[in-house]
Amino acid sequence: MLRSLFVTLALALAFAAQAHATECVPSLVASPALAKVDAETRLAFLERRLERASHNAKIWTGTWAGVFSALTIGGAVLIPLVEKGARVDYYFTAGKSLVGLASLGVVRLRAIGDARWLRSRSRTDACALVADAERLLVRSAKSENEGRTLVFHVGNLALNMGSLLVLGLVFDRWDSAALQGVGGSVIGELMIATRPRTAEDALDAYRGANLGAAAKRDPIPVAVYPLVLHQGGGLAVSGSF
């Protein structure tokens, strides 16, 4: 008798859970298995991964904004303090750093605003919220990828190799030209290489209905800090592999 009661209670709880679960048709191309995952589970995954993408985007954007701001201000401050013949070096430093700073806004990481917007959404319609979260994850992933396209690699090399040629051929400052060209190219490529892939990885896992997958490791951690030498200065770069 007691056993029958427990079986009946278990079945009732199972039916109640099934009735409570909400299944929604995915708004993106995904594995058929995704449609069978309840909306609450999918939403929890999407919110968690967008928050992680937002966190990483803030760190990356803040780091590189700080680097380029320091180079821009440092170059501008040093211009009137050095001999006239050397001032052109710092004009190039400040100018190229401004370009780097502007590039952060040209292809900004959308996860920061997307995660904030999703947090503010009403929780009344589960399927509508899941569809919004899917759209935001796709957009955030796209913004991560856009900053690593061939256009940015070519633009980085063109800007820095162009400064090398101008400083060398026009101003005959080949030592400064080498530093501007090679050093600037390395910094630009580091910025591109360390751009987060958090939303992209989350989107791949979500499309495959692999919602239990752990987040992949983020790009190589890189630290960039000022370096002061006896006759000048620059930036030191360190990373862990």
Q: What is the 3-class SS of 110-178, one letter each residue?
A: CHHHHHHHHHCCCCCCHHHHHHHHHHHHHHHHHHHHHCCCHHHHHHHHHHHHHHHHHHHHHCCCHHHHH
Is 44 or 124 the better-scoring residue by pLDDT?
Answer: 44
Radius of gyration of the chain (CA): 25
> Rounded to whole angstroms, how far apart are CA atoms 97 and 201?
30
Q: Measured between alpha carbons, how far is residue 184 from residues 100, 179, 199, 225 in Å? A: 10, 7, 28, 15
pTM: 0.81
Average pLDDT score over residue span 18-32: 79
> Rounded to whole angstroms, how far apart are CA atoms 122 and 133?
12
pLDDT at position 70 over 50: yes
Instruction: Note the pLDDT tens digit of each residue in 110-156.
Output: 999 999 999 998 878 999 999 999 999 999 999 999 999 999 999 99
pLDDT at position 101 over 90: yes
Q: Which of 50-59, 153-162, 211-220 has the lowest mean pLDDT?
A: 211-220
